[in-house]
Chains A and B, each alone.
Chain A
Amino acid sequence: MGRPGIAWAVPGVLFFVLFAVGPMALVVYLSFTSWDGLGAFPSVSGTGNWERLFDDPTMRQAVWLSIVLTAASWLIQTPIALLLGVWSAGRQKNRAVLSAIFFLPLLASSVALALLWKSLLDPNFGLIAEIGPWFGLEDGNLLGSGRGAMAAVAFVAAWQFIPFHTLLYQGGARQIPKSFYEAASIDGAGTVRQFFSITLPQLRNTIVTSSVLMVVGALTFFDTVLILTEGGPGTDTTIVPYLMYETGFQAYDMGYASAVATVLVVVATAISLLMVRVSGFSSMRSTREGM
C-alpha cells in the first residue's frame, strides 16, 4: 500500500530548523563574539567569554541557585500534588468543587501571578505585613533576605504549578483499576498500606512524567524572578536564565550572555536525551502500551 513521503514533514522541519535549531547554533557562535547588540552580524573575537564564564562567581552562584530552586520545587510540589491529585480523584461532589477552585491559579499567566504575589509580599502594605507575624515574620520582609526571596520564588512557582501536577496525578489515580483496591480490602490492608502498596507504585509513571516536567519547568521560572525579585537582593535569586537576561539585555554584553545561554541549551539537551532514554519516547511502540 502507499505510504506518505517525507514531503509532509518538510514544512515543519524547515520551520523548526529556522526558528529553533538555527538559533541554538547561533547562540554557540555568539558566545565566541563580543557582540553588544548593536549593528550587523558580529565577528568572532575569541574564547574570552568562556574563560570568564568558568571564573565567574556570579555564574557559579547562579548554577547553584538553579539547582536549589529545581530541587526545592520538586520537594514542595510533588508530595502536595500527589496527595491532592489522589484525593481529588475521588468522585464526590465536594471534591469536584474544590478541585475546580484549586485549578484557578493555572488560568493566570506567570506575569499576572508574579505581580499579584509581589503586591501580597510587599512588607509595608501587602498581605504579608498583616499575616507575616503569624508565621514569625515580624517585619514581613520575606523578599529582603536572600533565603526568604528564594523561598518566595519557590512558593509562588509551587502555587502556580501544583494545580497542573495535581491534574496529572488525578488522571493517573483514576486509571488505577478498582479491583486492586477491592482485593486489598479483602486481604484486610489498611488505608495507609493501600496508598503505599497500590496507589504509589501504580502512579510510578505519572511521578516520572510530572517530575520531568517540573525539572524542565524550573528552567523557565525567569518571569517570576524578573518581576518578584529582579534577581535580588543582590544576586541571591539570580538563576541562570535571569543572569543571561541581565547580562544580555541590561548590560548588553550579548557575547557573554550567549555563553551563559549555551550552558542552558546544553543542560536542557542533556535533560531531553535523558527523557528520551528513560521514557522510550522515540521507539515505535504504540502509546496503547500506556504511560
Chain B
Amino acid sequence: MKTATRPEPRPEQRPRPTEPRPRAPQARNDRGLRGRLRSVRKWNVPAGVASLVWLVIVGLPLYVLVLTTLRDRDAYFDEGSLALPGDLTLDNYRKVLESDFFTYLLNTAIVTVATAAIVIVLSVGVGYTVVRTLSRTSQRIFQFFLLGLAIPAQAVIIPIYLLITQMNLYDSLLAIILPTAAFCLPVCVLILAGTMRDIEEEMYESMALEGASQTRVLLQLVIPLSRGGISTVGVYSALQAWNNFLFPLILTQSRESRVLTLGLYDYVGQFRVDIPALLAAVVLSIVPIFVVYLFARRQLVNGLMGAGGR
C-alpha cells in the first residue's frame, strides 16, 4: 500500500515480528534503546492496566474451564464453579476419550491436512500464473478470485448441500474438504501472489539463461522463495478446516465421518447435563492444536500475521 509515511527498512534490519527478546547486541550496546524502552513502558501505562484486566477476563474462564473438568458432576452442581474442588478426578477425560474422540480427531486431522494440501497446490499454480504471465487473462483470473475475498462459505451452504448430494459425496470427508478448500482460495491466491511478486526479475533471467523449464523455475526458484507465503497459506487454510462447523453439520451425519467440531456439538446431546465431561471434551479439542502451538509457535504466529496482512 502507501509508502509515503514510512521509510521501508532493508529486510535484514527489519525487526522479526515475534522475536521474544531484544537481540543481544542491540541490548548490550545501545544505551539509547534502554532509555527508549523505559519511555515505552511509561507511555503504555493505560495499556498495561488494560492488559491486567484482560488477563482476568481471559484467565478466569480458562481457570473455571480446567477446574470444572476435574470435578465430579454432582460436585459441579453443588459446589458452584468457583470453589476449589474437594476431590479431583480424571474421570471426565476418560469418558470423553472412550466416546470416539480419537475417531473425530483423526477425521479432523485428515480434513485439515487435505484442505491445506489442496489449497497450497492450487494456489501456487494460480499465483505463479498471475504473477508471471503478462496476459490480460491472468489479470482477469486474479480479479475473479479477489471478488470472493469476503464471501463466507456459510452463505452458499444450501447449493453446496445440493451439489454434494448430487455428486454422491454426502457424509464423506471429501464433502467437507472440497468446498472448504475452494473458499480458502481467494485469500491464499492473494497472499501467494504478493509473495511471488517479491522475487526479483534478475533471478528469473538467470534461470532462463540456464535454459530452465517453467516447471523447474517453479520448483527451484518460485516455491523455495515463497516459503513464507506458502506457510501462511498452509496455516490459514488448516485453521479454516480445523474450525469448520457448518459444513460438517450439514454435509455429514455418521459417526465414521464426524469431525471434532461436530463431535463436540454432539457431545451436548450425549453428555447432556454432565457439564464437566462436556468441558473435558472442549479441553481435549484444544490440546492437539496447543501442542502444535508449543512446537511451532513462531510459524503459527507468523502464519496468522501473514493471513492478516493480506
Which residues of chain A have a CB within 8 Å of any CB of chain B?
1-6, 8-13, 15-16, 18-24, 26-27, 30, 37, 41, 80, 83-84, 86-88, 90-93, 96, 98, 100-112, 115-117, 119-120, 122, 125-127, 129-131, 159, 162, 164-165, 167-168, 170-171, 174-178, 181-182, 185, 190-192, 194-195, 201-202, 204-205, 209-210, 212-213, 215-216, 219-220, 222-223, 227, 241, 244-245, 248-249, 254, 257-258, 261, 264-265, 268-269, 271-273, 275-276, 279-282, 284-291
Contacts and interface: CB of A to CB of B under 8 A. Distances in A.
Given A11-B125, A164-B304, A119 B275 contact: yes
14 contacts: A6-B133, A9-B126, A11-B122, A24-B159, A83-B51, A84-B50, A120-B61, A130-B80, A178-B36, A205-B2, A244-B158, A272-B146, A282-B143, A287-B194
Closest A-B pairs by Cβ, 9 of them: A191-B43, A19-B182, A87-B47, A26-B159, A9-B129, A12-B122, A23-B159, A12-B126, A23-B156
B255 interface: no
B129 A6 contact: yes
B55 A87 contact: no
Interface in B243-300: 243, 245-246, 250, 260-262, 264-265, 268, 275, 278-279, 282, 285-286, 289-290, 293, 297
Contact of B155 (A12, A27, A104, A272): A27
Residue picked from B59, B137, B286, most chain A C-beta under 10 Å: B286
Contacts of B260: 109
B120 to A, nearest CB: 11
Given A15-B122, A116-B279, A289-B3, 16 more contacts: A6-B141, A8-B128, A84-B54, A87-B51, A112-B282, A112-B285, A127-B61, A171-B18, A191-B39, A209-B308, A244-B155, A245-B154, A245-B246, A279-B1, A281-B146, A287-B195
A87 B50 contact: yes
Contacts of B245: 109-111, 223
Contacts, number: 378
Interface of B: 1-3, 5-9, 14-15, 17-22, 32-33, 35-37, 39-48, 50-51, 54-55, 57-62, 64-65, 68, 76-77, 80-82, 118, 121-123, 125-126, 128-130, 132-135, 137-139, 141-163, 166, 178-179, 181-183, 185-186, 189-190, 194-195, 197-198, 204-205, 208, 214, 217-218, 242-243, 245-246, 250, 260-262, 264-265, 268, 275, 278-279, 282, 285-286, 289-290, 293, 297, 301, 304-305, 308-310
Nearest to B15: A174
Given A108-B286, A115-B278, A241-B154, A27 B159 contact: yes
Nearest to B47: A87
Contacts of A15: 118, 122, 178, 181-182, 185
B155 A167 contact: no
Q: Is the interface of B mostly helix, strand, loop or mixed?
A: helix
Given A4-B218, A119-B278, A125-B77, A202 B6 contact: yes
Nearest to A184: B39
A211 B282 CA distance: 29
